[in-house]
Amino acid sequence: MRSTRTVAVFGAYGHTGRFVVAELRDRGFIPLLSGRDADKLKALAHETGLDAIPATVEDSSSLDRLLADAAAVINCAGPFAATAAPVIEAALRAGIPYLDVAAEIEANLDTFAHFADRARDAGAVIVPAMAFFGGFGDLLATAAMGDWTEADQAHIAYGLNHWHPTTGTRTAGAVSRQRREGRRLRYAGGQLEYRHDDPPLLDWEFPDPMGPRSVVGEFTMADVVTIPSHLSIPDVCTYMTVEAARDIAAPDTPTPTAVDEHGRSGQTFLVDVVVRSGDAERRAVARGQDIYAVTAPLVVEALGRVLTGRTRAVGVVSAGEIFDAPDFLRALSPHISLDLRP
C-alpha cells in the first residue's frame, strides 16, 4: 500500500541529496533512498537506518519498483540531461508528483518541452529546478512582481562570497557546455539567444552587507527557464559575483567543506532581484548560507505543499506559478532572511 509520507530520493547519496534526506526526516517524511551506485547507497542506508532500493535510468523496471509505494519522488541525481526524463516517465506511470533540483538550463527546457502537454492532460505535477538556481529566483521574482501582470525586465544578481562546486555541479556544467557547443546563453526579447562573445563585466549595487561588487553579466542560470514559463517578462538577466564565477571556472577549486553541525559550508549568498516596468521598480532580497544546503528546504517545502494540495496549477510548472510565492518564501524563514519591496 502506498504511504503518504514515503518519498523516494533518487541520487540520495550525493552532496545535495544528503541535505534533502535530512530535511525530509526533519519534516516527518520517510525518505526511500535510491541511486545508481549500489555501494554508496548501501553505505548511506547503513548510516541513516533508512530503506534503500537501487535503481538506474537505464532500467525502467527498477524505477517502477522504487516508486511503487512512494507518495512522490525527488530527483537529486545529475546530470539531469540523462536522469530527468526517465524518472519523470516513471513518476507518470506511478501517478505521483515529480520534483527535481536541476540547475541545467537545457535539461529544464527539455522537461517543459517534452512533458508539458502529457502532464497537464494527466493532471500530474512536475516541478523542475526546485532549487537555489531556478526555483528560488523564480519565487523571488514572482513575489517582487506583486500585482503586476507583466514587466519589462527581471534582473537576478547572485552575491556569493565564493563557490566551491560539488562534483555533480562540475559534471552537469560539462554536459551543458557540450550541448551548447561552447556557446553561452542569454534571454532577451522573449527568447534564448546563443552567443560566442564574452559576457560583460559590470558593477552591481548589492544591498548591505555586501555593497557594490563586480559581477559577470549574462551569467545565465535556470531562472531564464522558470521565470518566462509563467511571467510576461521579455528580458531576464542573471548576474554572478566575479569571485564566485572565477571559482566555478577554475579546475582546482575545492569541493564544499562543512563548517557547522548541519553540514553547511561557510559560503554565504545574497540574491538581489529587481523587476522593472517603465520607470517603476520592485525588489526582493534574500540572504542565507550555502546554496546546496538551502536547496533542501526549498524542495521539501515544495513537496509538502504539493502533497497537501496547496498549489495553483498542474502540469510542468515552475515554483512561482504553482505556489503562493510570498507565503512560500516566508515559510523559509528558518533558512533565509527576506526583504520584499513591491
133-290+327-341 adopts what CATH topology? Dihydrodipicolinate Reductase; domain 2 (3.30.360)
pLDDT in tens, 222-249: 999 999 999 999 999 999 999 999 999 9
Q: How many degrees, rounded to 5, is the angle at CA 42 between CA 41 and CA 46?
A: 115
The answer to whether residue 1 scores a pLDDT higher than 90 is: no
Q: In this structure, are residues 29 and 300 in contact, taking their beta carbons and an 8 Å threshold?
A: yes
* Residue-level pLDDT at 341: 77
Report how far residue 9's alpha carbon sits from residue 25's, in angstroms, rounded to the nearest whole number: 12
C-alpha cell at 208: 548591505
The answer to whether residue 282 scores a pLDDT higher than 60 is: yes
Q: In this structure, are residues 4 and 307 in contact, taking their beta carbons and an 8 Å threshold?
A: yes
- What residues contact residue 69 under an 8 Å CB cut-off, 6+ apart? 1, 2, 3, 6, 32
Where in 25-71 does DSSP place strands (E)?
Answer: 30-34
- What residues contact residue 91 under an 8 Å CB cut-off, 6+ apart? 67, 72, 73, 97, 98, 124, 126
Domain ranges of the chain: 6-131+296-322, 133-290+327-341
* Residue-level pLDDT at 4: 83
* Residue-level pLDDT at 113: 97
Helix (H) / strand (E) element for 224: namely helix 223-226
Percent of the chain predicted with pLDDT > 70 = 99
6-131+296-322 adopts what CATH topology? Rossmann fold (3.40.50)
Q: With a threshold of 0.95, does the pTM exceed it?
A: yes
